[in-house]
Structure 1
């Protein structure tokens, strides 16, 4: 079975979530020690909280999982669930949000890990292949991992000055 590309993609998802990366960061390391109290704090009005960012990543992972399963997906940039508020997210709680976030990566990997590389060339919608979707999801995760790093730095500075 030819699945070198799939294995590479799965490896990247695992690396971003919990393995040692060359950039010395991953989601477990970055959000693992964030308290319930700090998770919902916007260090500046223009910056999202860690919880808002994790929720945003999660909603796009769930949307991608629907596409990978061949199911209809309806999320858009304008969808309210794209950026839930801290008040909405507090109802769920930080631990539950993290749990869903970590599970989404496992679910995603479970769907693709036994596929051949030919799967990547299949279109999930006109003109868009699964390879594009999965690579975009990796980029999206890394982009927001960086944002979380900035938010955490601001939170730490804010706490030191208090």
Structure 2
């Protein structure tokens, strides 16, 4: 198994497989009641905002894999932390569908690549795909912990 194959496997396991640390991204998100996704317990980051933030960074990776030199995310600006307010179960399902779509697009783009991609520079950045691709799962897991904490606060009340 090559390095890229390992990264793809990690992305799949973290997203909807059986990761060693517990629930996958989608298992955790599917367990969240849509009625609490706008709640702000610890500051201004709700579950909906955290999910949109994960999506935003996944879109960044997709754009860069497609060779886009213009697309960027500015840390702590609107396209990093987009304000989201879910008004119903359908909107929550649509947000979850957006994250599923980013997973599909990333995997489709990586399916046609080899380990050589890992040494290529990310368009208009000073780092390589070898640095950013493993961080997708790491970033998802980090925010999944926050989502789990926010969800457990509501379950325990």
The runs of 4+ residues in structure 1 deviating greater than 3 Å are 89-92
CA distance in 1, matches of 2:146, 2:125: 31
Q: CA deviation at 1:133?
A: 1.1
**What does residue range 1-162 of structure 1 map to in structure 2 within 5 Å?**
4-42=2-40, 44-46=41-43, 48-71=45-68, 72-87=70-85, 89-90=86-87, 93-124=91-122, 125-158=124-157
- Structure 1: gaps spanning 5 or more residues: none
Q: TM-score, normalised by structure 2?
A: 0.89
- Structure 2: gaps spanning 5 or more residues: none
- Contact 1:7-1:113 at 8 Å conserved across structures: no
Q: CA deviation at 1:137?
A: 1.8
Give the structure with the higher percent helix: 1
Q: TM-score, normalised by structure 1?
A: 0.86
Q: CA deviation at 1:126?
A: 4.7
